[in-house]
Amino acid sequence: MKIIHIATDSKFIDHALPVFEKVFPNSNDVVVFTTKVPLEYTKLKPSRIEVKRRSYFFNKPKLSEDLYETYDLVIFHSLGPLTFPELKNISHDVATVWLGWGYDYYSDCLSELPLFLDKTRILNVGLNSNYFKSMAVNCFRKLVKVFQIRTKKVCAIEKISVFSPVLPEEYEMVKGSRAWKSFPEYASWNYGTLEDNFVRGFEGESVAGDSILIGNSATLTGNHVEAFDLLRKLKIKGRRVIVPLSYGDAKLTKKLINMGAEYFGRDFEPLIDFMPLEDYVEIIKKCGYVIMNHVRQQAVGNIVIMLYLGARVFVRRENPVYDFFWKSGVVLSTIQELEVNSDLLNQPLTQSERDSNREIISQYWSREKAYERTRELVKKALAMKTTRRSEAFSGSNQ
């Protein structure tokens, strides 16, 4: 078995590789595509680093077709502008896997979904000091996206054997987003395990405090403005409001820091520096309540950690995250419920609810479950390769 992992500079490949190596020892090579070196987020030593421009128009495959033919399986860790052009040099009968991250299908295949709430949409305009220039830039980006979607990326996705989005619910969303000539089969797979990544060093611990965690990053899709407004409307005082802003948009970070200080004064605690996971968990352990105001799937890792620790988590009802956890039996609340019942911010989960949530989370994100999913993922991808070879052979003899 020989597997090549096509990745970008991020922490996720560090979470994934140990799992694949455990299931398929000494079988994995990693190629990291980046716009700059040295790598900033990836800690492992990749087999190869390729520097490319972040361009939908001009990016070409870096690795040769002959190289890809030496591998049994090609795994794409997200399918963004640096990575999807590689599919041009991968023949249809080579098994391929797309491990989606969210940005790589929401920004393209699901781009028509409204992800910003009203005040956040207004804020987005305000962050662009030159409105008309911004409009011109946005028009150009839309033209680029049309070019990308209708030509290059659609063709790339249609060559994929297996697609694993973050949530099972998102598979049908992407599949139904357009008429595809062919579409990858579904497989379940997730980054990270509780034991190795999410709560390592905090096993068995619980939240202790009534602080409120809002969002996971300085991104507009977090709809922070509406979350801040809701807390002010509910007259939340004397409780810490913790907001992770260590990555994302710098202009938005500055705006949210100013807004948070105005709304919550000394109770506002923005997290603006990258920190080790153990330090981060130590801080958010103070949060008995979590508000994730995203319309789209985002921050699943943070939600998993907080559910394990016993927090009451609020998500938007229209977010596919809600359906996923609700179907799994997890106890969580919606932001729409909070809007009509402010007492929920004073009602911690019962011990029975905490225990049930932890049990469900522990089973789904366990190390052994990750190994099982990895075996099934590879098995399905290789089976698809065999099927496509048979179809190609049959077609050539008709």
DSSP string, 226-285: HHHHHHHHTT--SS-EEEE-SSB-HHHHHHHHHHHHHHHGGGEEEE-S---HHHHHHHHT
Query: Cα–Cα distance between 332 and 354 in angstroms, integer?
Result: 10
Average pLDDT over residues 329-341: 97
The residue behind tokens 């295949």 is 109
- pLDDT-derived band at 53 (thresholds 50, 70, 90) equals confident
- Both structure tokens of 244: 């992770």
Tell me what pLDDT residue 393 has.
45
Give the pLDDT confidence of 150-182 residue by residue, as tens digits: 578 888 999 999 999 999 999 999 999 999 999
Q: What is the pLDDT of residue 96?
A: 98
Alpha carbon distance 271, 283 (integer Å): 9
- For residue 137, the model assigns a pLDDT of 61
Q: What is the pLDDT of residue 391?
A: 58
pLDDT on residue 205: 94
Name the DSSP letter for residue 93: T
Lowest mean pLDDT among 16-20, 178-182, 285-289, 381-385: 381-385
Evaluate if residue 258 carries a pLDDT over 60. Answer: yes
Distance CA 156, CA 159 (A): 5
pLDDT tens for residues 350-367? Answer: 999 999 999 999 999 999
What's the full length of the chain, in residues? Answer: 398
pLDDT at 277 (0 to 100): 85
For 384, the token pair is 């698809």
- Asked whether the predicted pLDDT for residue 102 surpasses 60, the reply is yes
Query: Which among 64, 100, 110, 57 has a CA at the least distance from the CA of 80?
Result: 100
Query: Among candidates 128, 46, 53, which has minimal Cα distance to 85?
Result: 53
pLDDT digits (tens, 9 = 90+) for 56-86: 566 789 999 999 999 999 999 999 989 999 9
The more confident residue out of 382 and 393 is 382
In terms of DSSP bridges, do strands 312-315 and 287-292 run parallel, antiparallel, or are they unpaired?
A: parallel
**Structural domains in the chain plus CATH codes:** 3-117+145-192+367-386 (3.40.50.2000), 195-364 (3.40.50.2000)
Residue 143 is predicted with a pLDDT of: 63
- Give the least confident one: 22-26, 119-123, 240-244, 311-315: 119-123
CA nearest to 231, candidates 277, 271, 290:
290
**pTM value?**
0.90
Single out the residue of 285, 77, 273, 289 nearest to residue 199, CA to CA.
285
What mean pLDDT value characterizes the chain? 91
49: which strand partners? 32
Q: What is the mean pLDDT of residues 272-299?
A: 94
- Confidence grade of residue 369 (pLDDT, cut at 50, 70, 90): very high
Please tell me the predicted confidence (pLDDT) of residue 58.
Answer: 62
Please tell me the predicted confidence (pLDDT) of residue 390. 55
Q: Is the dihedral of CA 209, 214, 216, 218 positive or negative?
A: negative
- Please tell me the predicted confidence (pLDDT) of residue 139: 67
What span, in angstroms and rounded, lies between the C-alpha atoms of 294 and 227? 10
Is 90 exceeded by the pLDDT of residue 147? Answer: no
Percent of the chain with pLDDT over 70: 90
Q: Alpha helix (H) ranges present in 9-129?
A: 12-23, 65-68, 103-106, 118-126
